[in-house]
Amino acid sequence: MEKTYETRAMWSHCFLRDKFFGYIRTTSQCECINSLIRFYVNRKNTLIDFMHNLDSALKEYRNNELITDFKSQFSEPVMITSLEVYERSASCYFTQNIFKEIRNEIQRVGALNIKVLSTTLDKVKFSVTALGDPAKDLRVEVDRGKNLFSCSCKLFESRGILCSHVFCAMKFKNILEFPDSLIYKRWTENAKYKFISTEMPVNDDIERVLKFRVGALASNCNKLCDIACKDVADFDK
């Protein structure tokens, strides 16, 4: 058992590569938060100082999120690949960080070779190999009837971004638009807007909706308090 655990890097990936974890690993999220809080909190703080400094850390988190959202919605990245139609389409849907990863996959298409293995009705199976490494053979299947795409590398299933092999198949079939099945909603610019709503969904859990409303109002109230506390007139009003 000890030997198996030591060699886990050689076998564990095959069991996890089609599971989506949203880029969150076991300890990385906690370590990231701890490293940020260390800048604001130390053991000499009183309880009041601790609460005040912790609130400052949370404000920085929220401010970073606002800046990232603004850049994603109101800035347009420079197109750098020869497959501009895919690059520009990705820039319209995804946040900046995810777009950069997808652009990296688009750039790799130029180093891939593709050939058709079989064609049945609306389904086409491809073999995709890297230039200079024909032994590494990946299989891509395109179902134009259902508008579905799949690749044996499982990058879309594990990370929610489209792999270079599917892009290569789309280029071969002259598919210019991003199919809805390849747009992972979690990584889009408007992913969180559906969770911040004042409308009561039909046949939904009322308690769940009320929690969403409280969260949306609390977020805006925090901004209001931060502005009002800096001026006596605003504070009195």
pLDDT at 136 over 80: yes
Report the share of the chain in percent with pLDDT over 70.
Answer: 92
Report pLDDT for 206. Answer: 82
CB 152 within 8 A of CB 180: no
H, E, C per residue of the chain: CHHHHHCHHHHCHHHHCCCCCCCCCCCHHHHHHHHHHCCCCCCCCCHHHHHHHHHHHHHHHHHHHHHHHHHHHHCCCCCCCCCHHHHHHHHHHECHHHHHHHHHHHHHHHHEEEEEEEEECCEEEEEEEECCEEEEEEEEEEECCCCEEEECCCHHHHHCCCCHHHHHHHHHCCCCCCCHHHCCHHHECCCCHHHCCCCCCCCCCHHHHHHHHHHHHHHHHHHHHHHHCCCHHHHHC
CA distance 203 to 192: 21
CA distance 139 to 114: 10
Residues 33-46, mean pLDDT to the nearest whole number: 80
| The model scores a pTM over 0.95 | no
Q: In the structure, what pLDDT confidence band is assigned to residue 15 with cuts at 50, 70 and 90?
A: confident
- 43 pLDDT more than 90: no
What is the pLDDT averaged over residues 26-47?
75
Average pLDDT of the chain, as a whole number: 84
Q: What length is written for the chain?
A: 237
Check whether 24 has a pLDDT greater than 80: no
Chain center to CA of 10? 26
Closest CA relative to residue 158, chosen from 36, 25, 55: 25
Mean pLDDT, residues 148-157:
91
Residue 161 backbone phi and psi in degrees, to 5: -120, 150
Query: Given this model, what pLDDT does residue 135 score?
Result: 81
Query: Given this model, what pLDDT does residue 14 score?
Result: 74
Q: What are 231's two structure tokens?
A: 């001026």
For 164-205, what is each residue's pLDDT tens digit?
Answer: 999 999 999 999 888 888 898 889 988 877 665 555 555 567
Whether pLDDT at 27 is above 70 = no
For residue range 65-114, list pLDDT tens digits in order: 888 888 888 888 889 999 999 999 999 899 988 999 999 999 999 999 99
Residue with more model confidence, 220 or 199: 220
